[in-house]
Amino acid sequence: MALTDIPSIDELADVTGQSKEQLRKDREAVSEMIRRGDDS
């Protein structure tokens, strides 16, 4: 089974009303948490 239906920043901004700039920061934060194992 393939992983599908992952939302883009544009779609999330449209649905949630949050700014794209903030959503990009949020998405980067998730990546950072994963990469660093939250030991920063």
Which residue ranges make up the site for other proteins (CB under 8 A)? Answer: 7, 11-12, 15-19, 22-23, 25-30, 32-33, 38, 40
| Least distance CB 31 / other proteins (angstroms) | 9
Question: Among the residues of 1-40, which ranges form H helices?
Answer: 9-16, 20-36
Residue 1 or 16: the one with the smaller Cβ distance to other proteins is: 16
Residue 1 or 15: the one with the smaller Cβ distance to other proteins is: 15
Q: How far apart are CA 22 and CA 40, in angstroms?
A: 21
Q: How far apart are CA 14 and CA 10, in angstroms?
A: 6
